[in-house]
Amino acid sequence: MNQSRRSTTRRAERLAALAWLAAGGILGGCAAHATAARAPAAAPVSTPQPGQTHARVEVLLPRAVVPGSTMDVGVKFTIEKDWHLYWNGQNDSGTPIVLELKMPAGFKAHDTLWPAPERLVEPGEILNHVYEREVILIVPVDVANDAKVGTAEIAVEARWLACKSACVPESGGAKASVSVSAVPFDQAALYVHAEVAKARAALPIGLAKEDPRVKTTIAGRQVTILIAGARDVTFMPGPECTQVKNLAERGTTQGERLVVDLEEGPKPIRISGIVRVTNSEGNRAYYHIDTHAGARPEGGQDRPASGR
């Protein structure tokens, strides 16, 4: 099979998997729309084997919480070597992880926080943003003000597309318990899980209004991202970003200035997502940008791109 045919087949397989994920009614964002628009007619995907998946799910909780507080629920995916799962931003052919939480009455989940992914360009200029080996998604959860002292169970059901040379739609779940207690607030270690705290600290940095570290400007349907002193700059559009042209080729550059063109479409233009920066010493940093038609929203940058 030649390279072009392999690329077409891979796109088709992932479109079929997209239909499987979307059937759950909780898959959204422009990643799904982009896939449906670009891919050819679907071909069968690999059939999942009962009880066998290429990723394992765990729920990570703090040891204790108090009524009326907010806790971070970590959903950890341990991914088989050489396989990958998908971020919720713009992808050419992949479909993002979807989560459903089951919690006691009065507990409220906020939008999922997604770590920065890796950029994967496959044959045929297919660009996806993926997670390999391990990723922890974070769901902030408000604990009910009237939560009863005792044990609260948090269960997670997840659906994802695992890909290597072929793609397999998979699902799985896990649950864990947390102690609801009237412990003093100064016992801060009780309110975080060490792995989740580390994952939160590594989330892309949200920028204050007019932050000088990243300057984003829009002229017509062209976007310039400038990071003074950068060795290279990469843009990974989030789920609500205006579609970018030729992202596989134009989404990364050497130097401090990245220029991308936008697909034709309605206004207002929104440029949101993650900017990956490597400095002259080779150190990487990740930032969230969210710019509307050349001006940041009142009050500064939006929170991290999210979805469930």
pLDDT in tens, 52-101: 799 999 999 999 999 999 999 999 999 999 999 999 999 998 899 999 99
Q: Are residues 172 and 33 in the same domain?
A: yes
Rounded Cα–Cα distance for residues 105 and 294 (Å)? 43
Predicted pLDDT at 93: 86
Angle at 28 between CA 25 and CA 297, to 5 degrees: 140
Predicted pLDDT at 174: 97
Q: Are residues 63 and 196 in the same domain?
A: yes
Residue 284 clears pLDDT 60, i.e. is over it: yes
Q: Are residues 235 and 264 in the same domain?
A: yes
Q: Are residues 195 and 231 in the same domain?
A: no
Rounded Cα–Cα distance for residues 307 and 28 (Å)? 8
Q: Which residues contact 88 (CB under 8 A, 6 or more apart)?
A: 29, 31, 96, 97, 112, 114, 238, 239, 305, 306, 307
Rounded Cα–Cα distance for residues 226 and 216 (Å)? 6
| Position 71 in a domain | yes
Quick one: how far is CA 34 from the chain centroid? 16
Residue 242 pLDDT level (bands cut at 50, 70, 90): very high
Q: Are residues 139 and 190 in the same domain?
A: yes
Residue 260 clears pLDDT 70, i.e. is over it: yes
Residue 293 clears pLDDT 70, i.e. is over it: no
Range(s) of the domain holding residue 267 = 205-292
Q: Are residues 142 and 231 in the same domain?
A: no
Predicted pLDDT at 294: 43
Predicted pLDDT at 37: 36
Q: Are residues 79 and 178 in the same domain?
A: yes
Predicted pLDDT at 181: 87
Better-predicted residue by pLDDT, 144 or 300: 144
Q: Are residues 85 and 122 in the same domain?
A: yes
| Position 300 in a domain | no
Residue 188 pLDDT level (bands cut at 50, 70, 90): low
Of 4-8, 133-137, 147-151, which gets the smallest average pLDDT?
4-8
Q: Are residues 215 and 273 in the same domain?
A: yes
Residue 28 pLDDT level (bands cut at 50, 70, 90): very low
Residue 307 clears pLDDT 70, i.e. is over it: no
| Position 308 in a domain | no
Q: Which one-letter amino acid corresponds to residue 292?
A: H
Number of domains in the chain: 2
| Position 304 in a domain | no
Residue 208 pLDDT level (bands cut at 50, 70, 90): confident
Residue 21 clears pLDDT 80, i.e. is over it: no
| Position 305 in a domain | no
Mean pLDDT (whole number) for 163-190: 85
Q: Are residues 194 and 210 in the same domain?
A: no
Compute the mean pLDDT over every residue in the chain, rounded to the nearest whole number: 82
| Position 40 in a domain | yes
Mean pLDDT (whole number) for 184-204: 85
Q: Are residues 121 and 147 in the same domain?
A: yes
Q: Are residues 120 and 159 in the same domain?
A: yes
